[in-house]
């Protein structure tokens, strides 16, 4: 019994059997938006207001599984209409990220990398930004905790607004930093090169989860338009960053093959080849940045 | 017997190569032209290679290490405990084949000179129709004739990119057929396949002439020449695709 208690945890997931037909149609043609478990008409639909509060049901999950396979297996249990598969998985995945320790453990891992970079890279500007990044992901973890309980919604409105303002500033700082950090990767020592590549990789892997949580908190405190605006802006910026990282990785790869990259850098990069590939193919991140009306934005 | 790999900036990329390509490279090192095991090879007894179960990516260091050993003198290898760097092997091959190059240049550049030399020598052995096919295969203006046409081919290889990859594929495939009796596996590419079929003859004659030179009849050159050409092909293959 106690063993079950350790392994399993209960989470709320989407009950697709009880979705309204209007919601299903709206999801298929991009006429709705979903925030914090509520389906709203999208601007381009010509309608306004709420269509449905998404029906949820409680299930027990195995904490030891990774969230993507959990989301898939849960989604597989649902008799999901074809058109809502993407959203269904996205909502389940989002629920898992908010309700489990998944994000916390990723942030802990990132914090370890940040600490190592701060200690090893004796560059004042890098340390300054590392501090900002710690603070950004700390704020995201606070936002996640606020999202755990809907009943405190009214009480947290003021705090959440201030937290969201702080997250927005820190997010922009983080984006700027990521824009620039890769340009210094080749001028640092091989060890710092590895640290920087690992750091950028981890941040790019966690950012979609952070963007998702930020959007959900805006929606929780009834700032629906801001949620949509921030979400669309952030996912566009993230896509640009990811593309930039992809170009950089492709160039590093070619230089490593060509022998243009110094040996220790080349070995370090090639050893990370599979991990880098997994980031670009991450279904988890694609789903979290899924937008029902993304073709219209 | 365990093969030691000496860290080599020009061979580290083997860790990213496909199994089929590594298998071909290993076959050059292990088997002779008649399919018999080479007397001096150690790779087939290396535990990592022996038990990799066809997953040659696991044994890339052993394959690379064996090539380094073939490139070095046996006594010197024994004293050092490892072989020589790939660039030394490449330059040694280029010296023997009278390739015009500069040792200080990048390895991929020297490999390009080697490919240019093989194509130039093959050009002499080609019929006019075969020359046109070569121009067509690597994407050079088919209206060029004579020295201008050869200049176009060499220029395209020098520029790198897909022309250099296709040239390396033509040559590597021909040498694979000559040495191990079967060609390489390629992703479907109609122009390349047609070129391979038409040009195997003249390229094969040129390579055959190299291999028959009295100065390179030693076992090591019979191993290192195909290996170097195959490695040049593997490098071009990886350089010419967006990995991510």
At A248 the pLDDT is 93
A273 contact residues in B (CB cutoff 8 A)? 15-16, 243
CA atoms within 13 Å, Cβ hemisphere of A266: 21
Please tell me if residue B104 touches chain A, with a CB cutoff of 8 Å. Answer: no
Buried b (16+ CB within 10 A) or exposed e, A108-125: eebbebbebbbeebeeee
Please report which helix (H) or strand (E) contains residue A133, including its range: helix A124-147
Nearest to B242 by CA among A28, A289, A154, A276: A276
How far, in whole angstroms, is CA A233 from its chain's centroid?
Answer: 14
CB contact under 8 A, A273 and B238: no
Mutate to test the interface with A, among B6, B13, B18 (most CBs of A within 10 A): B13
Distance from CA of A248 to the nearest CA of B (A): 10
CB contact under 8 A, B106 and A259: yes
Q: Give per-residue pLDDT as tens, B217-231.
A: 556 888 999 999 999
- For residues B192 and B12, give the distance between their C-alpha atoms in angstroms, rounded to a whole number: 28
Task: Quickly count: other Cβ atoms within 10 Å of residue B88's Cβ.
Answer: 16
pTM over cut 0.80: no
At A208 the pLDDT is 95
At A236 the pLDDT is 94
B243 contact residues in A (CB cutoff 8 A)? 249-250, 253-254, 273, 277
B85 contact residues in A (CB cutoff 8 A)? none
- For residues B94 and B105, give the distance between their C-alpha atoms in angstroms, rounded to a whole number: 13
Please tell me if residue B242 touches chain A, with a CB cutoff of 8 Å. Answer: yes
Q: Which residue of A has its CA nearest to B12?
A: A267
CA–CA distances in Å: residue B180 to residues B36, B80, B203, B228 = 11, 31, 16, 15
Helix (H, G, I), strand (E, B) or coil at A53: strand
Q: Which residue of B has its CA nearest to A243?
A: B244
- For residues A172 and B201, give the distance between their C-alpha atoms in angstroms, rounded to a whole number: 61
> How many DSSP H helices and E strands does chain A contain?
12, 5
8 Å CB contact between A16 and A80: yes
When pLDDT is cut at 50, 70 and 90, the band that residue B80 belongs to is confident
At B204 the pLDDT is 84
- For residues B127 and B130, give the distance between their C-alpha atoms in angstroms, rounded to a whole number: 5
8 Å CB contact between A54 and A91: yes
B7 contact residues in A (CB cutoff 8 A)? 263, 267
Handedness of CA B33, B35, B37, B39 (dihedral sign): negative
Q: Give per-residue pLDDT as tens, B121-168.
A: 999 888 888 888 888 888 888 788 888 899 999 999 998 888 899 899
Task: Considering only the beta carbons, identify the residue of A246, A257, A262 that sits closest to B238.
Answer: A257
At A124 the pLDDT is 67
When pLDDT is cut at 50, 70 and 90, the band that residue B45 belongs to is very high
pLDDT of chain A, 297 residues: tens digit per residue: 444 445 666 777 777 778 888 888 887 777 888 888 888 888 888 888 899 988 877 777 776 666 776 676 666 555 455 456 666 677 777 877 887 788 888 888 888 888 877 776 666 667 777 777 889 999 999 999 999 988 999 999 999 999 999 999 999 988 888 888 877 777 777 878 888 888 899 899 999 999 999 999 999 999 988 998 999 999 999 999 999 999 999 999 999 998 888 888 988 999 999 999 999 999 889 888 987 666 444
Q: Name the interface residues of A facing B (CB cutoff 8 Å).
A: 246, 249-250, 253-254, 256-260, 262-263, 266-267, 270-271, 273, 276-277, 280
Lowest mean pLDDT among A144-153, B74-83, B112-121, B198-207: B74-83
- For residues A157 and B222, give the distance between their C-alpha atoms in angstroms, rounded to a whole number: 77
**Contact pairs from chain A to chain B, CB under 8 Å:** 53
Q: Give per-residue pLDDT as tens, B97-127.
A: 999 999 999 999 999 999 999 999 999 888 8
């Amino acid at each position: 019994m106690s063993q079950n208690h350790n392994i399993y945890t209960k989470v709320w997931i989407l009950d697709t059997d009880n979705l309204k037909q209007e919601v299903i149609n709206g999801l298929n043609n991009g006429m709705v938006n979903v925030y914090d478990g509520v389906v709203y008409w999208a601007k381009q639909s010509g309608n306004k207001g709420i269509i449905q509060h998404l029906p949820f049901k409680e299930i027990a999950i195995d904490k030891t599984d990774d969230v993507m396979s959990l989301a898939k297996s849960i989604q597989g249990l649902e008799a999901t209409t074809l058109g809502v598969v993407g959203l269904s998985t996205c909502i389940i995945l989002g629920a898992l990220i908010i309700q489990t320790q998944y994000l916390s453990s990723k942030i802990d891992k990132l914090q370890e990398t940040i600490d190592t970079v701060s200690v090893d890279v004796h560059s004042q500007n890098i340390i300054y930004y590392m501090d900002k990044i710690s603070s950004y992901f700390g704020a995201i973890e606070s936002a996640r905790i606020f999202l755990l309980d809907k009943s405190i919604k009214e009480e947290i409105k003021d705090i959440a607004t201030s937290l969201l303002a702080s997250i927005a500033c820190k997010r922009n700082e983080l984006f700027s930093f990521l824009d620039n950090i890769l340009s210094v990767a080749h001028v640092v020592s091989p060890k710092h090169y590895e640290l920087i590549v690992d750091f950028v990789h981890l941040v790019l892997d966690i950012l979609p989860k952070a963007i998702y949580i930020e959007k959900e908190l805006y929606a929780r405190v009834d700032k629906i338009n801001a949620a949509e605006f921030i979400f669309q802006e952030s996912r566009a910026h993230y896509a640009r960053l990811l593309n930039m990282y992809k170009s950089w990785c492709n160039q590093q790869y070619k230089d490593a093959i060509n022998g243009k990259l110094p040996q220790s850098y080349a070995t370090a990069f090639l050893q990370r080849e599979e991990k880098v590939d997994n980031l670009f193919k991450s279904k988890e991140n694609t789903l979290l940045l899924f937008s029902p009306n993304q073709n219209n934005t | 017997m365990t093969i030691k790999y000496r860290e080599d900036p020009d061979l580290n990329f083997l860790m990213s190569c496909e199994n089929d390509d590594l298998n071909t490279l290993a076959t050059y090192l292990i088997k002779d032209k008649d399919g018999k095991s080479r007397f001096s090879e150690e790779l087939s007894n290396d535990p990592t290679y022996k038990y990799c179960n066809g997953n040659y990516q696991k044994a890339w260091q052993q394959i690379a290490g064996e090539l380094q050993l073939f490139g070095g003198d046996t006594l010197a290898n024994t004293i050092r405990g490892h072989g020589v760097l790939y660039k030394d092997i490449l330059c040694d091959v280029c010296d023997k084949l009278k390739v015009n190059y500069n040792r200080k240049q990048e390895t991929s550049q020297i490999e390009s000179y080697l490919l240019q030399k093989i194509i130039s020598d093959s050009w002499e052995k080609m019929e006019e129709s075969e020359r046109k096919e070569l121009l067509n295969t690597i994407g050079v203006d088919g209206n060029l004739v004579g020295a201008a046409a050869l200049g176009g081919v060499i220029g395209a290889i020098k520029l790198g990119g897909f022309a250099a990859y296709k040239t390396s594929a033509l040559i590597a495939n021909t040498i694979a057929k000559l040495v191990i009796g079967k060609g390489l596996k390629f992703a479907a590419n109609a122009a390349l396949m047609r070129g391979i079929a038409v040009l195997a003859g003249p390229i094969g004659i040129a390579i055959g002439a190299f291999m028959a030179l009295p100065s390179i009849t030693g076992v090591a050159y019979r191993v290192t020449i195909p290996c170097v050409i195959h490695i040049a092909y593997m490098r071009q293959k990886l350089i010419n695709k967006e990995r991510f």
